[in-house]
């Protein structure tokens, strides 16, 4: 009973109402559920959003939005189960028959998991910068064990510590598991996940996947920027992680082709991995606006009757 009450409070707290919408441009038939990636959160101190400024923009354009929070560091399956529980609560409380799922980074795997589990209750899946084929960054970090088990232990401890801090600041109660997260995001781990959840995965190299599977519509986009704003300190980290790709196009953490899922709307936005969700505090380069890109996707879903 306590769990049901807690989940109910979660869903109500995450709801972004449409009472003050200034337009109906993004007013989808079904609620939009946002799923964060690795090290993600909903809001920190009730102010700093993972999807920076995006829920408010969708709300002002008529959408009903839920921002979820799962483990920042965990396996695809563990995060997927956590999200599944929250989606089922959202469906129960909202009375909606379906939801539109939008996931960033590892959140793409979370929403794919949910769509695989309850396809009849999912209208669409949209992956943003999802490492559907894995990431060489995860491969390299896991390979540290062959170089120095002690060094790998230090790295894993540091990653778990960072995630614990983020979880505490955001009011979450999850136990981090960096080893499980990296294993899931590795090339081998992603291949295993895709074998269980193949929906929308391209069958050709860097191709498009099936547009619709079991009534669920699949979309994706990604970026190929790395250092996009000299004022953004997170760009420095991505300048290091991009080295793992050996010169292949990537957003700092995910390869261009790895982001492909279902209908590939675009795979070369001038976004790095954090720009894709309007981080850090909206600092980004010139070109497309990630807030506008997501707003346009909501309109696309609306026009498609979702």
Cis status, amide bond into 170, omega within 30 of 0: no
Environment class of 268 (CB within 10 Å of its CB; exposed 0-12, middle 13-18, buried 19+):
middle
Cβ neighbours, 10 Å, residue 48:
14
Helix (H) or strand (E) holding 117: helix 107-117
Nearest to 251 by CA among 220, 222, 279, 277: 222
Q: Which of 303, 91, 147, 128 lies closest to 221 in space, CA to CA?
A: 128
173 is catalytic: no
Q: Which of 57, 251, 267, 275 is an active site residue? A: 251
Is residue 36 annotated as a catalytic residue, yes or no?
A: no
Token output for 45: 């101190």
User: Which residue among 67, 71, 75, 105 is the active-site one?
Assistant: 105
Q: Is 190 an annotated catalytic residue?
A: no
Residue numbers annotated as active site = 105, 251, 273
């Amino acid at each position: 009973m306590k769990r049901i009450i807690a989940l109910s409070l979660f869903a109500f707290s995450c709801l972004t109402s449409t009472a003050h919408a200034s337009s109906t441009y993004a007013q989808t038939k079904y609620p939009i559920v946002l799923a964060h990636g690795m090290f993600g959160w909903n809001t920190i101190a009730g102010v700093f959003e993972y999807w920076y400024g995006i829920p408010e923009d969708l709300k002002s354009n008529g959408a009903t939005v839920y921002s979820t929070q799962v483990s920042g560091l965990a396996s695809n399956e563990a995060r997927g189960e956590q999200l599944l529980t929250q989606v089922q609560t959202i469906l129960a409380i909202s009375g909606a028959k379906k939801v539109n799922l939008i996931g960033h980074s590892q959140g793409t795997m979370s929403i794919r998991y949910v769509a695989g589990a309850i396809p009849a209750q999912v209208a669409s899946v949209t992956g943003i910068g999802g490492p559907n084929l894995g990431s060489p960054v995860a491969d390299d970090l896991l390979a540290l064990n062959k170089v120095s088990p002690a060094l790998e232990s230090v790295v894993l401890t540091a990653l778990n510590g960072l995630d614990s801090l983020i979880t505490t600041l955001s009011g979450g109660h999850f136990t981090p598991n960096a080893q499980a997260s990296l294993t899931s995001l590795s090339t081998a781990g992603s291949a295993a996940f895709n074998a269980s959840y193949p929906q929308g995965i391209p069958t050709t190299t860097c191709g498009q996947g099936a547009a619709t599977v079991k009534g669920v519509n699949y979309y994706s986009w990604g970026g190929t920027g790395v250092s996009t704003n000299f004022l953004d300190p997170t760009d420095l980290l991505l300048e290091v992680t991009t080295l793992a790709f050996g010169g292949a196009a990537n957003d700092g953490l995910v390869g261009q082709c790895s982001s492909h899922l279902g209908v590939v709307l675009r795979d070369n936005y001038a976004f790095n991995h954090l720009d894709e969700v309007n981080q850090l505090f909206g600092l980004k380069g010139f070109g497309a606006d990630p807030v506008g890109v997501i707003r346009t996707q909501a309109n696309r879903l609306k026009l498609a009757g979702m």
